[in-house]
Amino acid sequence: ASQQLVGVVGLEVHAQINSNTKLFSGSPVRFSAPPNSLVSFFDASLPGTLPMLNRRCVEAAVMTGLALNCTINKKSYFDRKHYFYADLPAGYQITQQRKPIAVDGVLTYSYFGEKKRSQMIRKSVQIKQIQLEQDSGKSLHDDDRSQTLIDLNRAVGLMELVMEPEMKSGEEAAAAIRELQLILQALGTCQGNMSGQLRVDANVSVHRPGEPLGIRTEVKNINSIRYLARAIYEIQRQIDAVQSGRAVQNETRAYDSKSVPMREKEGLQDYFMPEPNLPALIVYEDNASLPTGIDPSQAVVVQKIKDRLPELPGVKRDRLVQTYGILPEHSFTLVNEDGLMEYFETLMKTTQREPRKVIGWVTNELLGHLKQRDMSVSQPISPAHLAELLKLQETGRISSSAAKQVFQEMWRSGGKTAWQIVQEQELGLVHDSAQLHSICQKVVDSHPDEVHAVRNGNKKVLNKLIGLVQKETKGRADPVLVKEILQ
């Protein structure tokens, strides 16, 4: 009983497949189209209509499975999952329960440790399966008229990714979903935004190490990564319940800044049967394994999809670390922030400065400004303009503090070059040795105690004198020259 209770999290992710048409009909898929404007007879479940499988959706599921190191089942089956709800006019959903298209994968993800922010923790979670299924419609509750309206436009193709209950915290779950988002976006199989294309349900339970897993609750429809990290506060709610002797109910909860009960789990009423209107889904390893008479352009061939796999986020990070010698956490920031990696690589082509000096400008100054204003990377300082600023600093035309001042002004002015700002605001370093000589002389004359200390061998005091010269010149004196003159 003295042993600490630990949380366990398993995720189920519904990813909307990036496809022009639906999974089982030719209806177009278009975000925010007028309600029920993209609905075929099959989508409306009119009697006698039959499903026709969309090949693009199958290829998307295979590609996603390959990127997550899954085994692709050469033969998979469709099932009907029966439940009666207004947004499911057929009374069942077509899914893949018994034998899905992809199984036994792994998702590797990283996140920063809580104690040391710079320390990256690398973990992986097993992917139990990826299955194809048809989304239900969307219920729009009209409280004023006490009615529910149904929009069947949304009944599009989904990939459901089921992760094993192996994660221990909200931070881990959030990091895993962020990585999955990046992978799906790199593949182009799902746009991956959580305002509709990616829906996450979290199964949460608590137990004492060495004992069986506790009773789980399901927190449904978490629609942002920040909320996912918080929604698993459900762990804390269960720990408090168990410690005070209350039982955890097997229920479905909704997330609304804390979890609130929705309904008890359906349990055995979730009823599956094989889908009678769809044959087994067959995919082929390569062209050589295609039976005679089958058109290669109409078949799903795993090897062809493998050959089309793009560079995945993990590979990008490793390449950035190897190519530029930057720290792993910097590569993480570059890849995770939309467009930042491309910005950095373009900048590296136009500057001679070493990557480790450039990376701070991109991940601190640029990203900091973007985050403050909630802006995208494309604006407003181009890599060429930043490269010019870095060159001015590198060649000693401006000091590092002036460079930051110029950067802020470039941000504000929108379009002015670094050199224009340096000239307008007189921020360039003073290299005139005669001018600097007289300022140094003035400082030396008015600080006899410090001069005495330096002559007696206390070299540290020299820095104080350099600081006083910089104060006189508003930080614009060339520090190398000032040190020489003072010495």
The listed range with the strongest mean pLDDT (61-75, 209-223, 237-251, 277-291) is 61-75
**Which pLDDT band, with edges at 50, 70 and 90, does 131 fall under?**
very high
Tell how strand 138-142 and strand 120-134 pair up. Answer: unpaired
Beta strands across the sheet bearing 217-222 = 71-72, 102-112, 120-134, 157-163, 6-16, 198-207, 217-222, 251-255, 259-264
**Which pLDDT band, with edges at 50, 70 and 90, does 257 fall under?**
low
**Which pLDDT band, with edges at 50, 70 and 90, does 1 fall under?**
very low
**Which pLDDT band, with edges at 50, 70 and 90, does 446 fall under?**
confident
**Which pLDDT band, with edges at 50, 70 and 90, does 255 fall under?**
low
CB 104 within 8 A of CB 81: no
Domain segments of the chain as ranges? 6-282, 313-424, 433-486
Write down the residue that tokens 């330096």 correspond to: 454
**Which pLDDT band, with edges at 50, 70 and 90, does 366 fall under?**
confident
Q: CA 216, 222, 225, 228 torsion: positive or negative?
A: negative
Residue 258 has pLDDT above 60, yes or no: no
Least confident span in 3-12, 220-229, 294-303, 361-370: 220-229
Tokens (6 digits) for 78: 């469709």
CB 411 within 8 A of CB 381: yes
Q: Look at residues 443, 431, 433, 442 and name the one whose alpha carbon lies nearest to residue 467.
A: 443
Q: Look at residues 276, 29, 335 and name the one whose alpha carbon lies nearest to residue 152.
A: 29
Residue 352 has pLDDT above 90, yes or no: no
Give all strands (DSSP E) within 137-258, no chain letters.
138-142, 147-151, 157-163, 198-207, 217-222, 251-255
pTM of the predicted model as reported, rounded to 2 decimal places = 0.83
**Secondary structure (3-state) at 474:** coil
Instruction: Report pLDDT for 485.
Output: 79
- pLDDT tens by residue, 181-197: 999 999 999 998 887 78
Residue 268 has pLDDT above 70, yes or no: no
Tokens (6 digits) for 469: 């010269």
Residue 24 has pLDDT above 90, yes or no: yes
The listed range with the strongest mean pLDDT (74-78, 258-262, 268-272, 458-462) is 74-78
Least confident span in 150-159, 242-251, 297-306: 242-251
Rounded average pLDDT over 57-68: 98
- Compare 293 and 251 and report the one with higher pLDDT: 293
Residue 210 has pLDDT above 90, yes or no: no
Mean pLDDT score of the chain: 86
Residue 193: CB atoms within 10 A of its CB come to 14
Instruction: Report pLDDT for 419.
Output: 85
Least confident span in 74-88, 260-274, 312-326: 260-274
Phi (first) and psi of residue 48, to 5 degrees: 85, -5
- Compare 289 and 373 and report the one with higher pLDDT: 289
Least confident span in 17-21, 116-120, 161-165: 116-120
What's the rounded Cα separation, in Å, for the pair 127 and 65?
Answer: 9
Residue 32 has pLDDT above 50, yes or no: yes
Q: Look at residues 281, 253, 256 and name the one whose alpha carbon lies nearest to residue 62.
A: 281
What's the rounded Cα separation, in Å, for the pair 61 and 100?
Answer: 10
Residue 267 has pLDDT above 60, yes or no: no
Total number of residues shown for the chain: 487
- pLDDT tens by residue, 380-437: 688 888 888 888 888 778 877 788 888 888 887 777 788 888 777 777 766 667 777 7
Architecture label for domain 433-486: Orthogonal Bundle (1.10)
Kindly give the residue spans of alpha helices, DSSP state H, lying in 35-169: 55-67
Residue 181: CB atoms within 10 A of its CB come to 22
Half-sphere exposure of 422 (CA within 13 A, CB side): 22
344-373 as b/e, with b when 16 or more CB fall inside 10 Å?
A: beebbeebeeebeebbebbbebbbeebeee
Instruction: Report pLDDT for 247.
Output: 81
Share above pLDDT 70 across residues of the chain, in percent, rounded to a whole number: 92
